[in-house]
Amino acid sequence: MNIVLLKNKSDNPSTTVQQKQIFKYAHHHGITIDTTEIENSDYAVELEDRKEFKGFLRSLENNDHLIIFDLFTFSQNVEELVEIFKCLLTRSITVHIANINIAIETSSKPLILLELLSKQGELTKNMEKEKIQGRPKGRMSKSKFDIYRSQVIELLENRVSVSEISKVLHVSRTSLKDYINSRGLKDLVKAKILLLKSSKKQIFHANTHTAKECSLIKEIINQPQGIKNEL
């Protein structure tokens, strides 16, 4: 089944904008939409407490196709996104992300998803910063540390401290720390480690028994109230 999931609590973009882009994506890829669902959870609610959303995840069948506008439909938190994708991919559920014209499936390489999570983490950090500074939406300021980004990530993976990294790069520790925090690089490293561990456990090629052990769908949940059928 091909299922569209729209995020209702979103001022930008609206559900109408989301739907238009998703329909465009579906038409381009020859996907027939079977049903449309609405996700009403507030962004501030942690994944563990989103019972309606977890009920929706549980209702999905193996090999379903889930079409969303962007990753914010699932969560703003990178670690939560990792958990959601683990639960979906263990059941061979393909996730189509319409606004970037990409599909994540069991055959996708983990690094492809990692890159998406990296960009999502940076976007989330940028949005939080915009709320504080009042900067126009959609603008990610450039930094002199951008050229060191991959090197910084690698060093963080190897548990090198920010102080030591600053010495290696011959830069100010304070400025480097601000850069790491603004880009969410520590969260990215955590997500990468989780993904690589998941890959070793064959998360991308798991069987149904493994899927039942997923913490997001294992409990018995009543019929979702926050997600409603639109078609």
Nearest CA among 122, 126, 82 for reference residue 104:
82
Averaged pLDDT score across all residues of the chain: 78
Shared domain check, 92 and 17? yes
Mapped onto helix, strand or coil, the DSSP state of residue 87 is: helix
Q: Between residues 114 and 30, which one has the greater pLDDT?
A: 30
Evaluate whether 191 touches 16 at the Cβ level (below 8 Å).
no
Shared domain check, 35 and 101? yes
Which residues lie below 8 Å from residue 20, measured CB to CB, with a gap of 6+?
Answer: none
- Please tell me the distance from the alpha carbon of residue 174 to that of residue 195, in angstroms, as a whole number: 29
- Please tell me the distance from the alpha carbon of residue 97 to that of residue 103, in angstroms, as a whole number: 6
Examine residue 124 and state whether it is found in any structural domain, yes or no. yes
Expressed as residue numbers, the domain containing 43 is 2-108+202-212
- Does residue 75 surpass a pLDDT of 70? yes
Shared domain check, 120 and 99? no
pLDDT band at 198 (very low <50, low <70, confident <90, very high): very low
Retrieve residue 77's tokens: 């938190």
In this prediction, residue 22 carries a pLDDT of 92
Shared domain check, 207 and 99? yes
Q: Between residues 72 and 190, which one has the greater pLDDT?
A: 72
Percentage, residues of the chain above pLDDT 90: 30
Shared domain check, 164 and 84? no
Q: What is the average pLDDT across 216-226?
A: 50
Shared domain check, 153 and 84? no
Shared domain check, 120 and 87? no
Shared domain check, 123 and 13? no
In the 3-class helix/strand/coil scheme, how is the chain assigned residue by residue?
CEEEEEECCCCCCCHHHHHHHHHHHHHHCCCCCCEEEEECCCCCCCHHHCHHHHHHHHHCCCCCEEEECCHHHCCCCHHHHHHHHHHHHCCCCEEEEHHHCEEECCCCCHHHHHHHHHHHHHHHHHHHHHHHHCCCCCCCCCCHHHHHHHHHHHHHHCCCCHHHHHHHHCCCHHHHHHHHHHHCHHHHHHHHHHHHHHHHCCHHHCCHHHHHCCCCCCCCCCCCCCCCECC
- The domain tally of the chain equals 2
Lowest mean pLDDT among 139-148, 156-165, 183-192: 183-192
Shared domain check, 125 and 64? no
In this prediction, residue 221 carries a pLDDT of 38
- Does residue 9 surpass a pLDDT of 60? yes
CATH number at residue 89: 3.40.50.1390
- Please tell me the distance from the alpha carbon of residue 31 to that of residue 29, in angstroms, as a whole number: 6
- Please tell me the distance from the alpha carbon of residue 231 to that of residue 210, in angstroms, as a whole number: 32
Shared domain check, 58 and 147? no
